[in-house]
Amino acid sequence: MNEPLLLPTAYLAPVPYYAALYRAGEASIEVHEHYVKQTFRNRCMIAGPDGPFPLSVPVVKPENPGIPVCQVRISDHGNWRHLHWRALQSAYGRTPFFEFYEDDFRPFFQPGWEYLADFNRQLLHTVCGLIGFRPRLGDTTAFRRVPDWPLPQGPERPYYQVFAPRHGFLPGLSIVDLLFNMGPESILYL
């Protein structure tokens, strides 16, 4: 029997992350690795009117530099929830499917999650459900080294993006870019 795909936790991960998960059908999310700053564990990239735009969930600075990602707390610093929600509305409000999914995403930008890994896990389940697949997901019970990410797979195939006439196709964006632009056809892309 094959081992489940091993993935790091990720904030609105890029499309290739979900493509790998869709193909595997089962994954273990590594939550015992040491938290790594400036990675997609708490960052994502969306497409804005001026090009790629990064979003970063602020975290409480760990007292111990070797803290496992499952113990990393989300910070309320800087009103980030409101800023992320406004950025998503601004970037995707005119996409074909934003209005169909906005009520599913709005609760994530209200207070309620203490830990980054829990927040990311619930987003992962929500996104998979909206796309229309239900992978078997679990957390690791002890540290396992995640292969280098992104997984090698070649260039990302283009899909419809609302800002493509202005910037061309932008690869490596968050899964919300695919979902808000392609809606129910997102699963066909994966």
Going by their DSSP bridges, the two strands 51-56 and 43-48 should be labelled as: antiparallel
At 65, the pLDDT band (50, 70, 90 cuts) reads confident
Which residues, including other chains, have CB under 8 Å from residue 120's CB and lie 6 or more apart?
Answer: 9, 10, 11, 41
* pLDDT tens track for 10-63: 999 999 999 999 999 999 999 999 888 888 999 999 999 999 999 999 999 888
Beta strands in 49-149 (DSSP E): 51-56, 136-139
CB 164 within 8 A of CB 24: no
The secondary element (H helix, E strand) that includes residue 189 is helix 186-189
Tokens of 159: 């899909």
pLDDT confidence of residue 116: 97
Q: How far is CA 72 from the centre of its chain?
A: 17
Q: Do the Cβ atoms of 20 and 136 come closer than 8 Å?
A: no
User: Across the chain, what does the average pLDDT equal?
Assistant: 92
Residue 1's pLDDT is 55
